[in-house]
Protein backbone atom coordinates (compact mmCIF):
# COMPACT_ATOMS: atom_id res chain seq x y z
CA UNK A 1 0.00 0.00 0.00
CA UNK A 2 1.40 3.39 -1.01
CA UNK A 3 1.63 6.03 1.72
CA UNK A 4 2.61 9.58 0.71
CA UNK A 5 4.06 10.18 4.17
CA UNK A 6 4.50 8.44 7.48
CA UNK A 7 4.53 9.79 11.02
CA UNK A 8 8.02 10.30 12.40
CA UNK A 9 7.17 12.25 15.60
CA UNK A 10 4.12 13.69 17.32
CA UNK A 11 4.25 16.16 20.19
CA UNK A 12 2.92 19.24 21.93
CA UNK A 13 4.86 22.32 20.84
CA UNK A 14 7.38 23.09 23.60
CA UNK A 15 7.95 26.66 24.73
CA UNK A 16 4.78 27.93 23.06
CA UNK A 17 4.12 30.39 25.89
CA UNK A 18 7.64 31.85 25.60
CA UNK A 19 7.60 32.67 21.87
CA UNK A 20 5.16 34.33 19.48
CA UNK A 21 2.60 31.63 18.81
CA UNK A 22 -0.25 33.78 20.07
CA UNK A 23 0.44 36.28 17.28
CA UNK A 24 -0.34 33.61 14.68
CA UNK A 25 -2.81 31.47 16.66
CA UNK A 26 -5.52 32.19 14.07
CA UNK A 27 -3.28 30.50 11.45
CA UNK A 28 -2.55 27.44 13.62
CA UNK A 29 -5.33 25.20 12.40
CA UNK A 30 -5.19 21.43 11.86
CA UNK A 31 -3.22 20.79 8.67
CA UNK A 32 -1.26 24.05 8.79
CA UNK A 33 2.39 23.64 7.82
CA UNK A 34 5.16 24.53 10.25
CA UNK A 35 8.79 25.06 9.27
CA UNK A 36 11.52 23.05 11.04
CA UNK A 37 14.67 25.07 11.79
CA UNK A 38 17.62 23.43 13.59
CA UNK A 39 19.28 25.68 16.19
CA UNK A 40 22.70 24.10 16.65
CA UNK A 41 23.88 27.18 18.57
CA UNK A 42 21.04 27.00 21.09
CA UNK A 43 22.68 27.34 24.53
CA UNK A 44 20.08 25.14 26.25
CA UNK A 45 19.87 22.26 23.77
CA UNK A 46 22.32 21.53 20.93
CA UNK A 47 19.60 19.37 19.31
CA UNK A 48 17.02 22.18 19.38
CA UNK A 49 14.64 22.29 16.42
CA UNK A 50 12.57 25.48 16.32
CA UNK A 51 9.10 25.61 14.80
CA UNK A 52 7.97 28.54 12.68
CA UNK A 53 4.67 29.53 11.14
CA UNK A 54 5.83 31.75 8.32
CA UNK A 55 8.46 34.02 9.88
CA UNK A 56 7.05 33.67 13.39
CA UNK A 57 8.76 31.36 15.87
CA UNK A 58 6.13 29.50 17.88
CA UNK A 59 8.28 27.10 19.93
CA UNK A 60 10.28 23.89 19.61
CA UNK A 61 10.12 20.18 19.03
CA UNK A 62 10.40 18.90 22.64
CA UNK A 63 13.89 18.01 23.86
CA UNK A 64 12.73 14.50 24.80
CA UNK A 65 12.20 13.59 21.13
CA UNK A 66 14.32 15.96 19.02
CA UNK A 67 17.74 14.20 18.79
CA UNK A 68 17.13 11.98 15.76
CA UNK A 69 15.31 14.73 13.87
CA UNK A 70 18.08 17.24 14.64
CA UNK A 71 20.75 14.83 13.41
CA UNK A 72 18.92 14.16 10.15
CA UNK A 73 18.32 17.88 9.58
CA UNK A 74 22.00 18.60 10.32
CA UNK A 75 23.05 16.12 7.63
CA UNK A 76 20.84 17.77 5.01
CA UNK A 77 17.78 15.53 5.01
CA UNK A 78 15.30 18.29 5.80
CA UNK A 79 13.50 18.01 2.46
CA UNK A 80 12.09 14.59 3.40
CA UNK A 81 10.26 16.01 6.43
CA UNK A 82 7.18 18.11 6.80
CA UNK A 83 5.62 19.35 10.01
CA UNK A 84 1.91 19.97 10.41
CA UNK A 85 -0.40 21.15 13.17
CA UNK A 86 -2.71 18.28 14.08
CA UNK A 87 -4.65 19.77 16.97
CA UNK A 88 -5.39 23.00 18.81
CA UNK A 89 -6.87 23.44 22.27
CA UNK A 90 -6.87 27.14 23.24
CA UNK A 91 -8.32 26.26 26.67
CA UNK A 92 -5.38 24.01 27.62
CA UNK A 93 -2.21 25.03 29.43
CA UNK A 94 -0.03 26.99 26.94
CA UNK A 95 2.46 24.11 26.68
CA UNK A 96 -0.38 21.82 25.55
CA UNK A 97 -2.34 24.12 23.25
CA UNK A 98 -0.71 23.10 19.95
CA UNK A 99 -0.16 19.49 18.92
CA UNK A 100 1.94 18.74 15.83
CA UNK A 101 3.39 15.88 13.81
CA UNK A 102 6.56 15.55 11.82
CA UNK A 103 6.00 13.37 8.78
CA UNK A 104 8.62 11.77 6.58
CA UNK A 105 7.69 11.84 2.89
CA UNK A 106 7.76 8.73 0.76
CA UNK A 107 10.54 9.25 -1.80
CA UNK A 108 9.44 6.50 -4.18
Domains and CATH numbers, the chain: 5-105 (3.30.70.2330)
DSSP 13: P
How many CB atoms are located within 10 Å of the residue 45 CB?
A: 17
Digit-coded pLDDT (tens) for 28-55 = 999 999 999 999 999 999 999 999 999 9
Report whether pLDDT(108) > 80: no
Strand partners, 100: 11, 85
Digit-coded pLDDT (tens) for 60-106 = 999 999 999 999 999 999 999 999 999 999 899 888 999 999 999 88
Question: pTM here?
Answer: 0.91
Amino acid sequence: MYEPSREFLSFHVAGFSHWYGYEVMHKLVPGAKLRLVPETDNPYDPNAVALYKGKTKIGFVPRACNADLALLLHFGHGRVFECRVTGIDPTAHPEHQVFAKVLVRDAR
